[in-house]
Amino acid sequence: YDFYKGEILLIDKPYTWSSFQAVNKLKYAIKHHPSFIVDGQKINAKIGHAGTLDPLATGLLIVCTGKKTKTINDLMGLEKEYTGTFLIGATTPCYDLEKPVDHTYPTEHITEDKIRQAAESFIGVQQQIPPLFSAVMVNGKRAYELAREGVEMELKSREIEIKEFEITKIDFPKIDFRIVCTKGTYIR
């Protein structure tokens, strides 16, 4: 590898790590690689990531080094694919597992047909307000950091597009899914 000239690394970001933590661990390891040592001196080279995953999300984190950091914006603009499991009949204040369930609801009226119809209704261009517990930057900090501190904020909606929304398994109350979408889409 020549990390100084530039590499694109595909990392499986661990659960509970922020993208920043994952990149920092890589920075340490990469900066001790021989391609960062010229004539016995450590040289400084860029390292960055294309997109941010929330701490409770696992999956692909693209890290670029050296001259490949110039491709980050192009990589961030590519379509994204998410898989996961929804739990119906319960909510949390942050829309994911970072906080405990705060409300439960009856689910007897929910059928497989209604689930598939609901998934179909999300396909297309729409406005989405990111959740407060998200990686969106607000005044130089991640929204999830401010939300954990109890700071009240209002996030602005943004245009996103859901290109595919497939229900892959229904095992009440769990529903497995696959979504293909544009950058900036939050799946909770």
The position carrying tokens 């100084």 is 4
Residues in the chain: 188
**Pair of tokens at residue 27:** 């920075």
Choose, from 2, 54, 171, 176, the residue flagged as catalytic. 54
Half-sphere exposure of 160 (CA within 13 A, CB side): 22
> Cα–Cα–Cα angle for 31, 13, 124, nearest 5°?
125
Q: What pairs with residue 87 in β-bridges? A: 174
Does the annotation count 96 as an active-site position?
no
Query: Residue 162 and residue 127: Cα distance in Å, rounded?
Result: 11
* Segment (H or E) for 80: strand 80-87
Query: Residue 56 and residue 47: Cα distance in Å, rounded?
Result: 23
Handedness of CA 187, 137, 18, 53 (dihedral sign): positive
Query: Residue 144 and residue 90: Cα distance in Å, rounded?
Result: 21
Residues designated as active site: 54
